[in-house]
Amino acid sequence: RDLGRLGDSEKQLRLAVEQTTADDAQTRISLAETLIQLKKLEEADGILKAILARSPDHVEALAANGHRLVAAGRAREAIPYLE
């Protein structure tokens, strides 16, 4: 993801998600963050909602949700997630 190869990162993370259990939040958050950078905000939203439904206080998922809101032009709504 850091090398600007977001398409490759997305593919690899999708494969990793398929190979993990639903409680592997970290892999899913990484995928959601990559999707946010690719402007695939609806898909990222679904991933983050699923994580937060299991763990409402998951700090990294909350932060990623804030990033998604900023990317969607909803910075005011993002503030509580980023504090």
Q: Which residue has the tokens 């998600």?
A: 17
Crossing angle of helices 6-18 and 25-37, rounded to 10°: 150
Give the model confidence (pLDDT) of 11-63 as tens digits: 999 999 999 998 899 999 999 999 999 999 999 999 999 999 999 999 999 99
Question: Can you tell me the distance from the alpha carbon of 22 to that of 75, in angstroms, rounded to the nearest whole number?
Answer: 29
pLDDT confidence bin for 5, thresholds 50/70/90: confident
Q: Which residue has the tokens 């959601």?
A: 32
Question: Can you tell me the distance from the alpha carbon of 53 to that of 46, in angstroms, rounded to the nearest whole number?
Answer: 10
What is the pLDDT, as a whole number, of residue 53? 97
Q: What is the pTM of this model?
A: 0.91
Give which of 70, 18, 79 is closest to 45, Cα–Cα: 70
